Amino acid sequence: MTSLSSFLAKWTTTVVVLAALAASAGVITSGDIAHTLNTAALMLLGALPVLRVIALAVSWARAGDRRYAAAAVLLVSLMAAGVVMVAVWR
**In this predicted model, what pLDDT tens digit does every residue of 6-59 receive, in sequence order?**
888 888 899 899 999 999 999 999 889 999 998 889 888 888 888 889 988 999
Phi, psi dihedral angles at 7 (to 5 degrees): -60, -50
Q: Please determine, for residue 63, whether its predicted confidence score (pLDDT) is greater than 60.
A: yes
Alpha-helix runs per DSSP H in 29-65 = 32-63
pLDDT grade, residue 5 (50/70/90)? confident
pLDDT grade, residue 65 (50/70/90)? very high
In the chain, DSSP assigns E strands to none
Amino acid 78: pLDDT: 94
